[in-house]
A = this chain, B = another copy of it.
Amino acid sequence: MATPDEFGLIARWFAPLAADEPGAFGLGDDAATIALAPDRELVVTTDMLVADVHFFAADPAGSIGRKLLAVNLSDLAAMGADPQCYVLAIALPAAWGWDRLPQWLDGFVEGLAAMQAEFGIGLSGGDTVSTQGPLTLCVTAFGTVPAGAALRRAGAKPGDIVWVSGQIGDGVLGLRVLRQQVELPAELADAAVERYRRPLPRVALGRELRGRARACADISDGLVADLGHICAASAVVATIEAERVPLSPAGRTAVAADPALLTHLLSGGDDYELVFTAPEDLTAQIRAAGEAAGVAVTPIGSIDAVCTETAGSDGPVRVVAANGHPMPAVSGGWRHF
């Protein structure tokens, strides 16, 4: 077989992913075109994932492909955007060679294709290069909103309820299972690892929250850190009640065995749930949005004015334990950098 070749790779593995995007021109041009419906505004996000920083190099190729799109779709979800398409840049380790590459690309492309089908998006363009370093992937994803309707981090107001979607902490829990730092029954361990490897971006919920939520972010850095970003952008502070934060069966089991773990679940990253705020009188509408999107939404706290005594000295988010005392050890979150 011939040496790996950029054009051969594109034709065999990537062009099929672009078949339904007319502006991709079969990945044969210098750039792609993206048509935008009238009165829509483009929403753009870019995320770079590096092997052994954001995923394990040995992870199944399909789950790497899924996660790559999931983290970008999660950013679009946080803005309330309808996903449209994406471009992909990929630096393949030169050391892999032609004996390893086809099998890996088969799995990777299968993961991308599954996400494309699930979220109705297509590949518009890309770049394939070689690196002496680890596998490095960069997706720029495109969505649209009615002009001016994008959800923002700024906008939370004192009195708002703080909500989260789904269950919190499985990202960091799955990572700890993989690192053998936490022991769980096999079924629960597998579930947490699956959530770490295959996060589910809350695209349908984000769309339903347009015009309802006042502020929204996805949980990539950790619940406390990302709510902190909302607070910083909105010039408010927040209080969350730890025992109201929804945990998965795996999370509940792990915390029952080691209560100190709760702090890590609330501040760990990679959940890719949404954290958002809404006025109390929209509570029924928020619950309806969750039902329409098929995902649980749970109120976990409230937004306070920055001048009140609730403003903690160590950050904009105060986490209160079941006994009413602050949990001071909750960190500002996960830093990939």
Given the contacts A89-B138, A132-B133, A335-B6, A126 and B29 also touching, CB distance less than 8 Å: no
- What 1/0 mask marks residues of chain A from 23 to 64 whose CB sits below 8 Å from any chain B CB? 101001111111110100111111111101110000000000
Enumerate chain B residues within 8 angstroms of A87, measured Cβ to Cβ. Answer: 44-46, 140
A129 at interface (Cβ–Cβ under 8 A)? Answer: yes
Q: Give Cα A52–Cα B130 distance, bound, in whole angstroms.
A: 10
Contact between A35 and B43, CB atoms less than 8 A apart = no
A97 at interface (Cβ–Cβ under 8 A)? Answer: no
A81 at interface (Cβ–Cβ under 8 A)? Answer: yes
Enumerate chain B residues within 8 angstroms of A335, measured Cβ to Cβ. Answer: 5-6
A153 at interface (Cβ–Cβ under 8 A)? Answer: yes
Indicate which residue in B79, B129, B154 contacts A31 across the interface (CB closer than 8 Å).
B79
Contact between B9 and A337, CB atoms less than 8 A apart = yes
Given the contacts A50-B129, A134-B131, A336-B130, A35 and B5 also touching, CB distance less than 8 Å: no
Q: Give Cα A88–Cα B140 distance, bound, in whole angstroms.
A: 10
Contact between A89 and B42, CB atoms less than 8 A apart = no
Given the contacts A50-B133, A130-B53, A337 and B6 also touching, CB distance less than 8 Å: yes
Interface size on A, residues (CB 8 A): 71
Q: Closest CB of chain B to A126's CB: distance in Å?
A: 6
A189 at interface (Cβ–Cβ under 8 A)? Answer: no
A170 at interface (Cβ–Cβ under 8 A)? Answer: no
A167 at interface (Cβ–Cβ under 8 A)? Answer: no
Query: Could you name 23 residue pairs across A and B whose Cβ atoms are closer than 8 Å?
Result: A23-B41, A28-B154, A29-B78, A29-B153, A30-B218, A31-B43, A31-B150, A32-B45, A33-B79, A33-B145, A34-B41, A35-B41, A45-B125, A46-B125, A46-B126, A46-B138, A54-B129, A87-B140, A89-B140, A92-B337, A129-B336, A131-B134, A131-B136
A positions within 8 Å CB-CB of B: 4-6, 9, 23, 25, 28-36, 38, 41-50, 52-54, 74-76, 78-79, 81, 87-92, 124-134, 136, 138, 140, 142-143, 145, 147, 150, 152-154, 217-218, 229, 232-233, 335-337
